[in-house]
Amino acid sequence: MAKGHPELIDAFWPEGTLAREDIVGIQSLVKSLPERVEEVRGGDSKQQQSPSIRDVIQNCDIDVFQNTVRESFNTEENRKRSFVLAQNAFRRTPKSANLLPFADIDTIHSNDATVKIRSIEESSFYSTKMDYDEYTFANMGNALIKLTNFILKEMNYNVGDIASPFIIRDSRMYIWKKDGTSIPPSSPSEFMSDTTESSIESWSACNLASIEFSGICTEGEVDRQSNKLKEALSDEGVMSPWKIVDDSLLVLQYNAPGTLPWRRKNQVAYVVEKVDAASVSKESMDAKEDDGDIACDDSEGIADAITDESTYE
């Protein structure tokens, strides 16, 4: 629909409207939703070793849940904030949530994607190890429960201290630590002493190239979006000065579980660095020369074949 009738879509549902965002979000589910259904049914052989939904439920800490509910309703201010956070299930961009701060640097427009270049300062993140390197519902849910349990215990069960987005990178899940301070090694927390899977890590300042997409994160959808990002950065017509310097993909998910699927906001990103214009121009010229050499070689081969055939006759 979105691709077949763009003028009609633009006329009735202009960009920037909630209806347009819903249409794009629903369209994104055409491929990803069947993939998630197949995954939950166990149709993918890769899922045999993954944690199941039952495992996710069993990892829920009842004490943490009860203490969090108690803390969320013990004052009028906390009750109002909890009500707003609950309404985020219907919002694309969470309200009254701690959002990881980015600074916009550049925007790259290609045929199929709009790439945002943003910087992030040196920051601290809560981190936990994931069971497997895959974007399945159970695997991500299991890690998210472990990580939120970690944060809630550290922050006196204050659900407002759980920032957005949660980030997956190299089989670990991260959530930004707003105050930016880590727990002193000489006085580890009780929770950290119970397990080595969760910790607090520091990230160096860096630049990220990202594209945004709606819907749910499945193996197939993450692959499609990451390929689109790479193609946009390497598009000769765009001649982007930003180059990927780390092949580790970052997947950012901004919404809590239970958010309407078509209103979920996601991003894929790579760490990038800017190269000078002369280098970009030289790389483009080299690529064109290589293409020209290949074309010349092919022409010479065809000419030789014609000559040989003429001689044979």
The predicted pLDDT at position 150 comes to: 92
- What is the full DSSP assignment across 160-216? GG--B-EEEETTEEEEE-TT--PPPTTS--HHHHH-SSEEEEEE--EEEEEEEEES-
Query: Which amino acid, 106?
Result: D
pLDDT tens profile 72-89: 888 888 888 888 888 889
Average pLDDT over residues 52-67: 70
**CA 37 to each of CA 43, 139, 302: distance values in angstroms, whole numbers, following the listed order:** 9, 15, 51
Task: Please give the share of the chain, as a percent, with pLDDT higher than 90.
Answer: 42
Place of tokens 């549902």: 13
pLDDT classification of 308: cutoffs 50, 70, 90: low
Q: Give the residue among 158, 174, 161, 137 at the shortest CA–CA distance from 57.
A: 137
Q: Is the dihedral of CA 270, 271, 273, 279 positive or negative?
A: negative
On whether the CB atoms of residues 71 and 238 are closer than 8 A, the answer is no
Average pLDDT over residues 56-76: 79
Structure tokens at 223: 């692959």
Q: Which residue has the higher pLDDT, 50 or 106?
A: 106
pLDDT classification of 296: cutoffs 50, 70, 90: very low
**Coil vs helix vs strand at 73:** coil
Q: How many CB atoms lie within 10 A of CB 26?
A: 18
Q: Give the residue among 265, 267, 266 at the shortest CA–CA distance from 90.
A: 265
pLDDT tens profile 101-147: 999 999 999 888 899 999 999 999 999 999 989 999 989 999 999 99
Q: Is the pLDDT of residue 297 over 70?
A: no
Q: Is the pLDDT of residue 267 over 90?
A: yes
Mean pLDDT lowest for which of 66-70, 89-93, 248-252?
A: 66-70
The predicted pLDDT at position 307 comes to: 47
Average pLDDT over residues 203-211: 97
- Residues contacting 282, CB < 8 A, separation 6+: none
Q: How far apart are CA 57 and CA 59, in angstroms?
A: 5
Q: Which residue has the higher pLDDT, 161 or 108?
A: 108
pLDDT classification of 188: cutoffs 50, 70, 90: very low
On whether the CB atoms of residues 104 and 115 are closer than 8 A, the answer is no
CA-based R_g, the chain, Å:
24
Q: How far apart are CA 122 and CA 205, in angstroms?
A: 4
Structure tokens at 226: 């990451």
pLDDT classification of 156: cutoffs 50, 70, 90: confident
Q: Is the pLDDT of residue 6 over 80?
A: no
Alpha helix stretches (DSSP H) within the chain: 6-12, 18-41, 53-58, 62-72, 76-87, 137-154, 190-194, 219-233, 277-312
Place of tokens 């950012």: 252
Mean pLDDT lowest for which of 44-58, 74-88, 283-297?
A: 283-297
Whether residue 165 has a cis bond before it, omega within 30° of 0: yes
Average pLDDT over residues 153-176: 92
On whether the CB atoms of residues 162 and 85 are closer than 8 A, the answer is no
Q: Is the pLDDT of residue 21 over 90?
A: no
Please tell me which of 4-18, 70-84, 199-213 the model is most confident about, judged by mean pLDDT. Answer: 199-213
Average pLDDT over residues 57-66: 73
